[in-house]
Structure 1
Amino acid sequence: MLTSEVGFLGTALSTLYLIVLLSIQILWTSRRAAELSPPLRYTALFVQACLVYLPLLQFKESWVGLPGFLAGSALVVLRPPYGWITAGLVVVSMAFTQAALSPDQIEPIVYITLSTTLTALLIYGLTWLSTLVTQLHSAREELAKMAVARERLRFARDLHDLLGYNLSAITLKSELTHRLVLKHPARAREELVEILQISRQALADVRAVASGYREMSLDEECVSARSVLAAADVHVRMDVGYRDLPVRVSTVLATVLREGITNLLRHSKAEFCEISLRQDSTTVTIVMLNDGVPDDPIDSREDGGPGGSGIHNLSARVTELGGDLVADFLPEKRFRLCATMPLSGQADQRGKGKDDDLDPPLRVVS
């Protein structure tokens, strides 16, 4: 009866030891292992060592196969070369233990040595495999977040470029229509038709931004810029000459023109604006020059003026095509916006954007 009680207690104790030992082993393969402080990691490794060696006094040969878990954990927890030295000591200690338990047999010693070594390497490999899988999932989550962030930035940038210009144009033409509605009703109706067209175009552009890449017509933007500036009583001189341009270049030039007009209307009291566009065999350049810059132009940068989000958005677009954007404050309260882009390598780039340089440096000359 006493023997049966000892056997039952031994089985219960061995089960408890195994549960705790394997729980610690599973801990090394979980995400919490990286969050543990070094003292806690060393404490867990010490507890695992106790659960490996102390039961040997009670279970003897029945327990000699488990120290491989300790050797594998040492390789995971301790830094090289300490991990390899500790694992080697565990393997050697089990060889001597088996030699003490079976002094006249060489086969069990070789078996336990190889078994402990292979178990240690297997535990080490599986633990690092689990860690790599966890890191891979974390990296994928970060990449997904970055992709979402880039898409949000693209949407915000395009929305700023679209609505800033369209709302400014609608506001100006609405004010003009209000002044003309009694004295020149026919002209007021024409302005209302243009307001309706701009509103519809703005709606279509916003939908295009939401769906992805948006193309813009440079010809239409030139006509629209002349109309909007005329409505704002700004004298316009346009000198535009270009041949067939790649779609991406034409779209970016139209965006530069639109943002330049928006900045002129929002941040200056311009009476004159000169717009020129020139193309040669390798590059195309657009230059916008206007007067009426406020006495302290630096303040206008905080809400989208030169150096604000609008110009930085343009800088990002131009830099994506390998070009350069320069914003100059000139004497006599004038402001110049110049964008130069290469033509080579752009023809087959339709719809492909690079979000790597989301906020490139901008040269602003005061």
Structure 2
Amino acid sequence: MLAPFSEDVTGDTRMTARAMEAGETGDGRPRQPRKRSWPRRDPAVEAQGDYGTLAPRLSRGVLIGVFAGFCAVTLTNISTLPDLGVLPKVFAVLDTLALLALQLLYFSRDPIKVRTHTGIAMNVLQAALAYLPLLVFHHAWTGMPGFVAGTALLVLPAIAAWSAFGLVVLSMTLYQASAGFEVTDTVYIFVSTSITGLVVYGLTRLSTLVKEVNAARSELAEMAVARERLRFARDLHDLLGYSLSAITLKSELTHRLVAKDPERAREELSEVLAISRQALADVRSVASGYRELSLEDESRSARSVLAAADVDVQMHMNYDDLPARVTTVLATVLREGVTNVLRHSKAEQVKICVRQNDDQVAILVVNDGVPDEPMEQVARSDNSGSGIHNLSDRVTALGGLLSAGVGTDGRFRLTAAVPLRPGVKPDLVTEAA
């Protein structure tokens, strides 16, 4: 009995299906393979994965290279000393390796972890390894105490650290002066020890900061992924929840009308087709990260869907041109309100009111079908973070307020108010016009 509708819609669909199976388009031309245009990623974003591991390794490599270079210079100076036996040279190598290992394996860690009593003890041990060889190697070993000065800045509190740094530099300057060297050599030791200490401190802090920045960047990337997943889930709930509920309701109504009223059934099927197409467009908008809803279209759709559910609808829509973000949020509130009525209530009457003045625009959805379980509790029970909580986040993002609950008259009210001017405190609407 629905032959005319089958020819208009189903016939076209079947023809398209046969054409696709034959590898042809609707007009009989060979169908070309569809080329997918994937969005191109920013090369900088693609390189972040490599940079995330390269930067800490590079900083660590520079740190090891510089410290090893300081030790190599000292060992070179020792090798030039006359009448120095093999045993002292072996001792110099072992002592240098111990200083280098202590600096790289312990003091190059997180500064918070080395600022302990153990760290101070290790600094004292480092001082012993750096100062005692002076008794054997004299001026050839004067480059090593600079490590103690730099480590003191890492381990000790600020005042104590700079005091220890100054003592190390002063001790090496006095040692050089007491050995009878010229003033230029003494000044050289003063500058050399100071620079060595600052380089040790600076490179160690730089290496740890690179690690911290890399870890923070990874956390930010994970947070961005989590936010995107939340947005995707939220938008799917807001968009498809209403559409699927409407499709289900109208399909059931069409099933009952097929035998009784074919013309009405055809109209309902047309609306089901329109809603399904809109749902497909909504899914694409969710995937692209951008969507814009029309309050007028949503109110018209809400009236149709509620009427199909045998719900008496009263609408009072009093608003002018609104910003796209505001209309999208209000349309989303309307969608969620109608979806909750269809899913969680047995409403017979629904009132929808939109009011606008110079300061704000507000929407109110009232229904008399409060279930045994309060609707706000139903919304909170959704672990995905959607429902009333989701709407509150959207409205709050625009500086507005949202309220949902059962009034003294036993009716459930969902209301939201969004300011239209900066600094305006929104006022919630509690009664329909």
TM-score bucket (shorter structure): 0.7 to 0.9
What does residue 300 of structure 2 align with?
223
Q: Alignment partner for residue 127 of structure 2, among 43, 46, 49?
A: 49
Equivalent residues in 2 for 1:102-117 (5 A)? 102-103=179-180, 105-117=182-194
**Aligned partners of 2:348 and 2:368 also within 8 Å:** yes
Any idea what SS the aligned residue of 2:369 has?
coil
**C-alpha distance in 2, partners of 1:35/1:159?**
46
**C-alpha distance in 1, partners of 2:83/2:170?**
35
Q: Is structure 2 residue 329 aligned with structure 1 residue 246?
A: no
What does residue 213 of structure 1 align with?
290
Q: Which moved more, 1:284-293 or 1:168-177?
A: 168-177
**Residue 128 of structure 1, CA deviation:** 2.5
Root-mean-square deviation (Å)? 2.8
Q: Alignment partner for residue 287 of structure 1, among 353, 356, 364?
A: 364
Deviations 1:50-97 (A, max 9, x none): 321122222122101210111111111111222122222222332343
Q: Alignment partner for residue 154 of structure 1, among 216, 231, 237?
A: 231
Q: Which moved more, 1:293-302 or 1:174-183?
A: 293-302
Compared CA separation, residues 152 and 241, structure 1 to 2 (3 A) = same
Equivalent residues in 2 for 1:305-324 (5 A)? 309-324=386-401
Any idea what SS the aligned residue of 1:81 has?
helix
**Residue 339 of structure 1, CA deviation:** 1.3
Q: Alignment partner for residue 260 of structure 1, among 322, 330, 337?
A: 337
**Aligned partners of 2:392 and 2:401 also within 8 Å:** yes
Q: Is structure 2 residue 202 aligned with structure 1 residue 121?
A: no
**C-alpha distance in 1, partners of 2:273/2:117?**
71
**Aligned partners of 1:294 and 1:333 also within 8 Å:** no
Q: Is structure 2 residue 414 aligned with structure 1 residue 341?
A: no
What does residue 402 of structure 2 align with?
325
**C-alpha distance in 2, partners of 1:52/1:327?**
72
Equivalent residues in 2 for 1:1-366 (5 A)? 7-27=85-105, 30-31=108-109, 34-35=112-113, 38-100=116-178, 102-103=179-180, 105-297=182-374, 299-304=377-382, 309-344=386-421
**C-alpha distance in 2, partners of 1:62/1:285?**
82
Compared CA separation, residues 193 and 40, structure 1 to 2 (3 A) = farther
The code of the aligned residue for 1:208 comes to S
Runs of 4+, deviation exceeding 6 Å: none
Deviations 1:302-353 (A, max 9, x none): 4359xx73111111111111211122311343011111112236xxxxxxxx
**Residue 271 of structure 1, CA deviation:** 0.3
Aligned length: 342
**Residue 165 of structure 1, CA deviation:** 0.9
**Residue 36 of structure 1, CA deviation:** 5.3
**C-alpha distance in 1, partners of 2:144/2:108?**
21
**C-alpha distance in 2, partners of 1:204/1:181?**
28
TM-score by length of 2: 0.72
Deviations 1:193-234 (A, max 9, x none): 222221221121111111112101112111110111011111
The sequence identity of aligned pairs, in percent, is 58
**Unaligned runs of at least 5 residues, structure 2:** 1-80, 423-427
**C-alpha distance in 1, partners of 2:347/2:173?**
91
**C-alpha distance in 2, partners of 1:35/1:162?**
50
**Residue 181 of structure 1, CA deviation:** 2.5
Compared CA separation, residues 299 and 111, structure 1 to 2 (3 A) = closer
**C-alpha distance in 2, partners of 1:330/1:199?**
35
**C-alpha distance in 2, partners of 1:176/1:37?**
73
Compared CA separation, residues 39 and 260, structure 1 to 2 (3 A) = same
**Unaligned runs of at least 5 residues, structure 1:** 346-362
**Aligned partners of 2:293 and 2:327 also within 8 Å:** yes
**C-alpha distance in 2, partners of 1:28/1:232?**
72
Deviations 1:134-182 (A, max 9, x none): 3333332233222222222222211111122112112211221222233
